[in-house]
Amino acid sequence: MSIRPYRDIVRRKSRQVMVGPVPVGGGAPINVQTMTNTLTADAEATIAQIRRCEEAGVDIIRVSCPDEESTRALHKIVKASKVPIVADIHFHYKRALEAADAGAACLRINPGNIGSAERVREVVKAARDHGVSMRIGVNAGSLEKDLLEKYGQQLADACDYPLHIGVTEAGGLRTGTVKSSIGLGSLLWAGIGDTIRVSLSAEPEEEVRVGYEMLKALGLRHRGVNIISCPSCARQQYDVIRTVEALEKRVAHITTPMTVSVIGCVVNGPGEARETDIGFTGGGNDTHQVYIAGVPHHRLKDANVVDHLVELIEKKAAEIEAAKSKDSAEEADRHRTAAE
Ligand code: SF4
């Protein structure tokens, strides 16, 4: 048990399913998904959007296939994408067959609108023949009332399939983020959810960023620099808000997980710094304090706080990455020796 047991999350046990090379469930990291909103038939625009999502760290991308032009373009999209593609199918089961043929890693269908049981069987057969996984997508809004009454709402207890969770129709960037954080956050905290999508009326890459922030906040997955900062007040010894705004932009490209505290004064600075990789606390007369691994390291008089912190963060990221490569090389050596 950790020193803050109320923060511990025990994840629901689920079986593992592969979406292309990405494992979902069975203890794998919780995946962050999004969905393109370009015309799928416009392969170039869709691929450009996928690139932006890849840069934001997306694990899996869903692409809707409403017509034959879309499934034709899917061949090109699948080839160009670095992450597996889920084909989103509604109403027309033939699109599912074409998408499996086009190399989709997963078919997302809603059995309620795909037609007869025979058609559903055909889709399942196509998925099996192509080694493609399937996602059964059900929105609360599309579930018949009698089904809800008969089966209730406890799917997580009734099966061990990995679950993809999201709050649909949540709203724009700000309101949607709040609603999704409450909805997804409560489920994730209860250990439910193997893959997530934060649905926002905003660009897909924003959904990915919010998804990661949510997982970071719950301590479920770490990617990039997690900045812990105070709201600032009259005690601040430098401009916390402007510093954090600039810092967030300057370190957005770093994918190495680490925590950095940026605190206005000694009221909370030393305490927060103790739990972070790099800490920064405002001090009087320009004697700001820098902490490394929780321990006071050096003072900073210079006003150029952002440049200095970026330099420290980049150096730390390089150290962490070098240690990781060394560990993997040693691990590979051990395997080689064991095999000989
Ligand atoms: S840490 Fe200091 S500057 Fe920041 S909000 Fe608290 S008292 Fe104000």
Q: Reply yes or no on whether the pLDDT at 70 is more than 70.
A: yes
Assigned domain for 143 exists: yes
User: Are 187 and 266 in a shared domain?
Assistant: no
**Residue 125's domain is classified under what CATH number?**
3.20.20.20
Residues 35 and 158 in one domain: yes
* Cβ-contact 104, 74 below 8 angstroms: yes
Strand partners, 206: none
284 Cβ closer than 6 Å to some ligand 1 atom = no
Pocket test for ligand 1, best of 229, 235, 280 (most atoms within 8 A of CB): 235
CA 183, distance to chain mean position in Å, is: 16
pLDDT value, residue 54: 96
> 0.95 exceeded by the pTM?
no
Whether residue 102 sits in one domain with residue 63: yes
Contact 299, 290 (CB under 8 A): yes
**Residue 178: domain span:** 20-217
Torsion of CA 259, 264, 269, 272, to 10 degrees: -30
- Residue 335 in any domain: the answer is no
Non-local (6+) Cβ contacts of 239 within 8 A are 232
Q: Please indicate, yes or no, if residue 333 is contained in any of the structural domains.
A: no
- Identify whether residues 49 and 179 lie together within a single domain: yes
* CA atoms of 197 and 164, how far apart (whole Å): 8
139-182 pLDDT tens trace:
767 777 888 788 877 889 999 999 999 998 889 999 999 999 99
291 beta partners: 279, 296
CATH of the domain at 289: 3.30.413.10
Strand pairing of 295-300 and 288-292? antiparallel
CA 303 to centroid of ligand 1, rounded, Å:
19
The answer as to whether 9 is a domain residue is: no
For ligand 1, whether the C-beta of 37 sits within 6 Å is no
Q: Which residue has the tokens 């330099």?
A: 311
Question: 139 and 75, same structural domain?
Answer: yes
Task: State the chain's mean pLDDT as an integer.
Answer: 93
Q: How many domains does the chain have?
A: 2
Instruction: Look at residue 286 in the predicted model and tell me its pLDDT.
Output: 83
Residues 318, 256: Cα–Cα separation, whole Å: 9
